[in-house]
Structure 1
Amino acid sequence: MSNLYKKVDATDFPDEDDDIIAETDIEEDEAAFAFQQDENEDAEDDELLFDELDFFDLDDEDELDDEDDLDFGDVPSDDPVGLYLKEMARVPLLTNEEEISLAMRLEQGHIASERLAKLPEDAPEEEREQLLQLIEDGLDARDHLIKANTRLVVSIAKRYMSRGVPFLDLIQEGNLGLMKAVEKFDYTRGYRFSTYATWWIRQTITRAIADQGRTIRVPVHMSDRIRNLYKAARELEQEYGRKPTPEEIAKVLNIEPRKVQWMLKVSWRPLSLERPVGEDDENELGNFIEDYSMPTPLQSAYQSLLREKLEEVLATLSPREARILRLRFGLQDGRGYTLEEVGQKFGLTRERIRQIEGKALRRLRHPRRSRQLRDFTIDQ
């Protein structure tokens, strides 16, 4: 319909402005810190990403040495968490001497496993059985050390609740960190196992939150930049007594303002369109969001009036001319037909259809007809 009108009137409507998406050139710097666990460890274990916590600064509350850390009264006892806690509470806490003893048994199990792998086939059966017993004893010590510290995992996981990851998943991720700490614990360095394991538990939990806590995952190094951005924004707000502008934040972080704006957009969390809104929660958020793919009421009224006026003008032409124009410009069923398709409907050649179309358009441009469409020359 609009194509037909453009051919009738020489004045074309201006096209809508195209949306310009400026891609931000964000440098992919490595935001990682080295945490040396063992001088002989593999390189993949030497460098681990940190979150906002200072894992070197472990205080007394990180160690599970008193009954206060075992208080899970805010967790119902009739759910899976409560059942899990009851099961773990059966294993008593370990003293420093018990931790060292279990770590030594675990170490002996590792040594026995290496010896068994190198043991020749003709070795005495008694020696083989002794090594198998040491390996089994080491596994028992490992299980005991893990179970005795699962409450430490729950204690740390409680601090990360309501961050997008279910509580049981936080516990599971923390248990993975605990298992890794058991394998890497060196009792000869003199510190408690709970102090050492706390870092690994926190690391796995915070990594899980970074990977699973958002609907759209944000890389860990970008999360670190976003935290620094919000930290700088809070400091500036306290200094100025108002919310800082992106330019002020960019000056503190020594980056461009457009990068600050981009990082702010990245930090936004998506909202469900079905989220209840209002005092009675009777409406959904999606009901208040404009659908740009649908025409506005003004555009709908404009199209309706234009169609009505075009039909009035086409009625002044011969039936054949009017039908050809309707077919060519999609006024009949929304589809514009080619000259060949229209010719097949009328039993005429393409050239003849083109001639009839041109004649009909010239007749529409006559002042007696075109003045009826003059009101639609205003840009909409």
Structure 2
Amino acid sequence: MAKKKIDEEAVAKDVEATQPARSKVAQTPKIKKGGEVKKDAKVKKEKVKAKTSKKIDKVSDEEEEPVIIVDEEEEIESLETIKKRLVKTFKERGFIDMSEVLDETSHLDLSDADVEDLIVFLKSKGVDVISDIDAEAEIDDIPEEEIAKGDSLVDEDLIDEEEVVDEEVEALAEIDDLSKLATGEVKVNDSVKMYLKEIGRVDLLRPEEEPILAKRILEGDMAAKNELINANLRLVINIAKHYSRGKAMDFLDLIQEGNLGLMKAVDKFDYTKGFKFSTYATWWIRQSIARAIADQARTIRIPVHMVETINKMKRVQRQLVQRFGREPTAEEISEELEGFLSPERIREIQRIALDPVSLESPIGEEEDSHLGDFIEDKEAETPVEFTTKSLLKDELYEVMKDLTDREERVLRLRYGLDDNRPRTLEEVGREFGVTRERIRQIEAKAIRKLRHPTRAKRLGDFRDSR
């Protein structure tokens, strides 16, 4: 009996270890007569083992699935986290660069459509993504020596942005004749001179006047807003002249786009952050001009985020040309970009970045020929084909003279021999005032006559030549 009790206690402990949710009353086996207790205990042990093994298998199965689910959640969370971080950065600084968006999402391997969706989402949250498109990448006519000087507003020039803008604004204040701004840089016509003369009458603001005007603007004072805009129109001209040398857009159009950016900067300027307005407005002016060039300067529009990628690729390409003394391959550019773009993607971007060329472009020193004169039209008829068709048409009309007038007219209408516009059976039937079935019968009879050996022989040479 003592041994039986020990077995019963062991079984009870096993049951408690594997099924802790059950009550002790259910776990303790009932004492039965004779060897029934031992048998009952053995059965329960087997049940416990079976349930335990099933439970372990279930747990192991459940442990494999969450690995994928967690990864998906982490990826979703990372994209959501990036969105929140970008919105937070915009609220703190007042602007977001397109390059920042691309850098933040580079590890997610987003497609162009996904990037566009992200930009749309940011805009829905009131975030304006500005594009720091380099003038030297947008305007191909800027010489390399000027790029080295920093006149083309490349990324390295933005390090001391505030100091540069302050110096330029101070220099603008000392210019009496604003037409000097464009001398040697852009061609000034009468309309530009009139505009420069008009804005020259407005004095620049003193540093202490900017916060006062900004406070009045927040209170809804439109006069203060106009005063702040007019006082910074010279800054727009100074920035626009850097973009005008490539002839991508007219100088006045660039000024107008820059003015739109200036007005947006006035709406979003927060004087409490301690930044000077000229420093803050410069970003919006450049963004507005650069986006206008991307949208309007090309015959085929390229999305702004793709322009960013093209600019990055072109910068690396120029560096490799100076290093190797030749044009780099797509593989070399991809390696220099550390895998940011694959060689296949680089080749695709190079095709996208090509500028369309007019077929009317003059060729030769005397310019008496055009590019279109040297490009083959593979769908155009050759002189031999044209002559063959003309002879075939004449011979066909000669053969059709053996048909009745009604049969000949039906074939001419059905196949459009006179006006190259074939008619349906119903249309021809209305022409003759009969049913479409009757027209079909007349057509079939006429074709049988033309297939007669005596007539088909005259057309056989044309069939064999094809």
Which amino acid letter does the alignment assign opposite residue 460 of structure 2? R
Structure 1 position 360, deviation (Å): 3.8
CA contact (8 A) 2:133 2:308 kept: yes
Identity %: 46
- Corresponding residue for 2:209? 102
- Corresponding residue for 2:459? 373
Residues 378 and 46 of structure 1: CA distance in aligned 2, closer, same or farther (over 3 Å): same
Structure 1 position 304, deviation (Å): 0.9
- Corresponding residue for 1:173? 257
Which amino acid letter does the alignment assign opposite residue 157 of structure 1? A
Q: What is the CA–CA distance in structure 2 between the aligned matches of 1:295 and 1:172, rounded to whole Å?
A: 49
Structure 1 position 158, deviation (Å): 0.3
- Corresponding residue for 1:50? 132
CA contact (8 A) 2:403 2:446 kept: yes
Q: Which has the higher contact order (CA 8 A, sep 6+)?
A: 1
Which amino acid letter does the alignment assign opposite residue 160 of structure 2? L
Q: What is the CA–CA distance in structure 2 between the aligned matches of 1:290 and 1:326, rounded to whole Å?
A: 34
Match of 2:239 among 156, 161, 165: 156
Which amino acid letter does the alignment assign opposite residue 350 of structure 2? L
Map 1:23-62; keep pairs closer than 5 Å.
36=89, 38-39=91-92, 43-45=125-127, 47-52=129-134, 53-54=154-155, 56-59=158-161, 60-62=163-165
Structure 1 position 221, deviation (Å): 1.1
- Corresponding residue for 1:82? 193
> CA offsets, 1:24-71, max 9 Å, x none?
xxxxxx9xx879464396942464333234385234443313369954
Residue 300 of structure 1 aligns to a residue in which SS?
A: helix
Residue 92 of structure 2 aligns to a residue in which SS?
A: coil
CA contact (8 A) 1:325 1:357 kept: yes
Structure 1 position 175, deviation (Å): 2.6
Q: What is the CA–CA distance in structure 1 between the aligned matches of 2:295 and 2:200, rounded to whole Å?
A: 30
- Corresponding residue for 2:310? 226
Which amino acid letter does the alignment assign opposite residue 218 of structure 1? I
- Which protein has the larger Cα radius of gyration, Structure 1 or Structure 2? 2
- Corresponding residue for 2:286? 202
> CA offsets, 1:247-271, max 9 Å, x none?
6656766556665454334333344
Q: What is the CA–CA distance in structure 2 between the aligned matches of 1:240 and 1:247, rounded to whole Å?
A: 14
Map 1:238-257; keep pairs closer than 5 Å.
238=322, 241-244=325-328, 255=341
Which amino acid letter does the alignment assign opposite residue 314 of structure 1? M
Which amino acid letter does the alignment assign opposite residue 62 of structure 1? V
CA contact (8 A) 2:131 2:290 kept: no
CA contact (8 A) 1:69 1:155 kept: no
Structure 1 position 81, deviation (Å): 1.8
CA contact (8 A) 1:163 1:213 kept: no
Which amino acid letter does the alignment assign opposite residue 49 of structure 1? S
- Corresponding residue for 1:6? none
Q: Unaligned regions of 5+ residues in structure 2, if any?
A: 1-81, 95-122, 135-153
Q: What is the CA–CA distance in structure 2 between the aligned matches of 1:78 and 1:256, rounded to whole Å?
A: 47
Match of 1:268 among 351, 354, 357: 354
Which amino acid letter does the alignment assign opposite residue 165 of structure 2? D
> CA offsets, 1:93-129, max 9 Å, x none?
55xxx31x21332244256x38xxxxxxxxxxxxxxx
- Corresponding residue for 1:303? 389
Q: Unaligned regions of 5+ residues in structure 1, if any?
A: 1-29, 115-134
Which amino acid letter does the alignment assign opposite residue 361 of structure 1? I
Q: What is the CA–CA distance in structure 1 between the aligned matches of 2:411 and 2:189, rounded to whole Å?
A: 74
Residues 231 and 313 of structure 1: CA distance in aligned 2, closer, same or farther (over 3 Å): farther
Residue 268 of structure 1 aligns to a residue in which SS?
A: coil
Q: Please, what TM-score do these two structures have when normalized by structure 1?
A: 0.65
CA contact (8 A) 1:35 1:48 kept: no
Count of aligned residue pairs for this structure pair? 322
Residues 194 and 378 of structure 1: CA distance in aligned 2, closer, same or farther (over 3 Å): farther
CA contact (8 A) 1:34 1:47 kept: no
Q: What is the CA–CA distance in structure 2 between the aligned matches of 1:143 and 1:344, rounded to whole Å?
A: 73
Residues 284 and 68 of structure 1: CA distance in aligned 2, closer, same or farther (over 3 Å): farther
Residues 358 and 190 of structure 1: CA distance in aligned 2, closer, same or farther (over 3 Å): closer
CA contact (8 A) 1:35 1:47 kept: no
CA contact (8 A) 1:77 1:83 kept: no
Residue 444 of structure 2 aligns to a residue in which SS?
A: helix
> CA offsets, 1:207-257, max 9 Å, x none?
222222223332211212222333344345445544345566567665566
